[in-house]
Structure 1
Amino acid sequence: MDTVRIADNRTRGRRKCYFCQNPAIKITYKDPLRLKRYLTPRGKIVSRFKTRVCSRHQKLLTTAIKKARILAILPFVNREL
């Protein structure tokens, strides 16, 4: 279950969670530059299947982003298009 099949019959290894690989990196609401990587240009939170983050760290990211929005560190909606 560690490999995933792709179209032309090759296999590639399962990609690990970025935060599981680097346990020294903490998810905190005080770091808007890191949190912005997990937002769409419109300001929505990107799903964990696109960001390749495990469910535990996705939940921590979500709560950190929501806390940063409430404290006005991150905008709720990005109106710049």
Structure 2
Amino acid sequence: MYQVTLDPLTEEQIAAIPVEALRPLAELLTLLEIAPWSGQPYNSANPKANMLTHAFGERGLATYVVLDDQHEVYLIRVEWP
């Protein structure tokens, strides 16, 4: 199981997203604890890199880094346009 850590900027982004995005985001965070590699590569030219993105809800996108050695997922951005 992985620990999900939020970047301070990501905490601000989460505070600004609408209420309807919170449940899908919470579900994504739970998924990342058990399946962090389930996202898509951030850079398609480097598909084995540890920076990934994962959609959530109808319009959300999370960007994160998987740190296997530490069993950590570091969430660096949450977008809800």
Decide: shared fold, TM above 0.5.
no
Q: TM-score, normalised by structure 2?
A: 0.30
